């Protein structure tokens, strides 16, 4: 006789509750990555934020 495996039930229930957070996290991460990879050295030289944290 097979034992009951609770993991599929657990993941299905948690996915129903947490999918908005997970999808939002993925979209936000993709947007931040896209903009970060699009920066050049020239952008960094002109950035007040980079200059303030360069010390």
Confidence class for position 55, pLDDT limits 50, 70, 90: low
Confidence class for position 48, pLDDT limits 50, 70, 90: confident
Q: What is the pLDDT of residue 46?
A: 85
Q: What is the pLDDT of residue 29?
A: 97
CA-CA distance, 23 to 15, in Å (whole number)?
Answer: 11
Q: What is the DSSP string of 4-44?
A: P--HHHHHHHHHHHHHHHHHHHHHHHHHHHHHHHT--HHHH
> In the chain, where are the structural domains located?
9-52
Q: How far apart are the first and last CA of the chain?
A: 66
């Amino acid at each position: 006789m097979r034992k009951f495996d609770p993991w599929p039930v657990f993941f299905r229930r948690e996915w129903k509750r947490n999918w908005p957070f997970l999808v939002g996290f993925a979209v936000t991460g993709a947007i931040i990555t896209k903009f970060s990879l699009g920066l050049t050295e020239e952008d960094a030289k002109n950035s007040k934020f980079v200059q303030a944290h360069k010390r």
